[in-house]
Structure 1
């Protein structure tokens, strides 16, 4: 889990961003040092929960094991997954993330509504690495 990027569980799970007090730009991943908007003189940044639902802006699938320096266990089989870019309308930004297990590119369409849920990126005997995933609304998993 990346500290400060998301919080909550179940229906309360939310991605966390930051908003500039001067220009109202929202950032994800969060920004804690300065406003990244080049047209803004800068202001205080406050943590804000992002919308839990958005619309598919684009998508693709990942069909190969990532090369070095990404760490993957060569002993485990590689499982392809769908990667979704989701537009959060009220924040005016696009957030990238994996689809929930079982959702493939064949299940996706540009403009369809999806919701953010907690997911497992990887787990071993000692650690579960939590992340966010996108799930089409109306689908339970």
Structure 2
């Protein structure tokens, strides 16, 4: 888990971003040092929970084993996964993330509503690394 990027679990799971008090720009991943908006003179940055739902802006699949530092078990066959870019309209940002396991590009369309849910990036005997996934609304996979 990346500290400060999300909070909660189940229906309370939310990505966390920051909002600039001067220009109202929202950032994810969060920004704690300064406003990233080049047209802003800067303001205080405040943590904000991001919308749980958004619409697919774009999507693709990953059919190759990525290089380090991405963690994969070389003993296991590579499993392709689906990446989704989701527009969060109230925040006026696009957030990239993996689809929930089992959802493929064949299941998706630009403009489809999705929701953020907790996911597992990697696990071993001692640790489960939590991340976020996008799931089409109404799907229970």
TM-score range, shorter chain: over 0.9
| 2:134 equivalent to 1:134 | yes
Distance 1:71 1:91 in 2: 31
RMSD (Å), alpha carbons: 0.8
Across the two proteins, how many residue pairs are aligned to each other? 141
The runs of at least 4 aligned residues of structure 1 exceeding 6 Å deviation read: none
With normalisation by structure 1, the TM-score equals: 0.98
Q: Does 1:58 align with 2:58?
A: yes
Residues 9-55 of structure 1: CA deviation (Å, up to 9, x unaligned): 11000000000000000000000000000000000000000000000
- The answer for the alignment partner of 2:6 in structure 1 is 6
Q: Which ranges in structure 2 are unaligned for 5 or more consecutive residues?
A: none
Q: What secondary structure sits across from 1:121 in the alignment?
A: strand
Aligned to 1:71: 71
Q: Does 1:97 align with 2:97?
A: yes
| CA distance in structure 2 between the aligned counterparts of 1:62 and 1:119, rounded to whole angstroms | 17
Q: TM-score, normalised by structure 2?
A: 0.98
User: SS of 1:11's equivalent?
Assistant: helix
More displaced stretch, 59-68 vs 41-50: 59-68
Q: Which ranges in structure 1 are unaligned for 5 or more consecutive residues?
A: none
SS state at 2:15 partner? strand
- Report SS of the residue matched to 1:106: helix
Is 1:15 matched with 2:15? yes
| CA apart distance, 1:128 | 0.3
Change in CA separation of 1:115 and 1:67 when aligned onto 2, cut-off 3 Å? same
Counterpart CA distance in 1 for 2:76 and 2:130 is 19
